[in-house]
Amino acid sequence: MGIRPKILEEKVEVKNMSKKTIITVATTGAWPKKKDNPNVPMTPAEIAEDVYACWKAGAAVAHLHMRDDEGNGTMDVNKFRQTVELLRKNHPDCDIVLNMTTSGDLNATDETRQLHLEELRPEMGSYDCGSMNWLNSSLFINHPKFLEELGTHMQEWGVKPEIEAFDPGMIANAAYYLKKGILKAPLHFQFCMGCANGIPGSMKNLVFMKETMESLCPGSTWSCFGVGHSAMEMLYGAVAMGGHIRVGMEDNVMYAKGQLAESNVQFVERAARVIREYGNEVATPDEARDILGLKK
Read off the CATH number of the domain in which 249 is found. 3.20.20.70
Instruction: Report the mean per-residue pLDDT for the chain.
Output: 95
Amino acid of residue 58: G
Rg value, the chain, Cα = 20
> What local confidence, expressed as pLDDT, does residue 241 receive?
98
Q: Is residue 7 part of a domain?
A: no
Please give the pLDDT value at position 67. Answer: 98
Residue 2: pLDDT above 80?
no
Residue 11 pLDDT exceeds 50:
no
The predicted pLDDT at position 21 comes to 99
For residues 84 and 47, what is the distance between their CA atoms, to the nearest angstrom? Answer: 9
Residue 173: alpha-carbon gap to chain centroid: 19
In a domain, residue 109? The reply is yes
Average pLDDT rounded to a whole number, residues 139-145: 97
Is 37 in contact with 255 (CB distance < 8 Å)?
no
Residue 122 belongs to what domain range?
17-292
**pLDDT interval class at 296 (50, 70, 90):** low
Q: Is 43 part of any domain?
A: yes
Residue 5 lies in a domain: no
The mean pLDDT value for 262-290 works out to: 99
Q: What is the mean pLDDT of residues 281-288?
A: 99
**Is residue 39 in a domain?**
yes
**Is the residue at 10 inside a domain?**
no
Contacts of residue 257, defined as CB under 8 A and 6 or more positions apart, other chains included, come to none
Longest dimension (CA), the chain: 89
Look at residue 274 and tell me whether its pLDDT is greater than 50.
yes
* C-alpha span between 67 and 186 (Å, rounded): 32
Q: What pLDDT score does 16 carry? A: 66
Residue 2 lies in a domain: no
Q: What confidence category does residue 17 fall into, taking pLDDT thresholds of 50, 70 and 90?
A: confident
Report pLDDT for 7.
Answer: 38
- Can you tell me the distance from the alpha carbon of 138 to that of 92, in angstroms, rounded to the nearest whole number? 40
Helices (H), ranges, the chain: 44-57, 77-90, 115-120, 144-157, 168-180, 203-216, 231-240, 264-278, 285-292
pLDDT at 3 over 50: no
pLDDT in tens, 212-227: 999 999 999 999 999 9
The number of distinct structural domains making up the chain is 1
Query: Rounded CA gap, 45 and 32, in Å?
Result: 18
The pLDDT assigned to 252 comes to: 98
Q: What is the pLDDT of residue 13?
A: 47
Q: 20-21 and 281-282: which strand pairing?
A: parallel
Q: Is 1 contained in some domain?
A: no
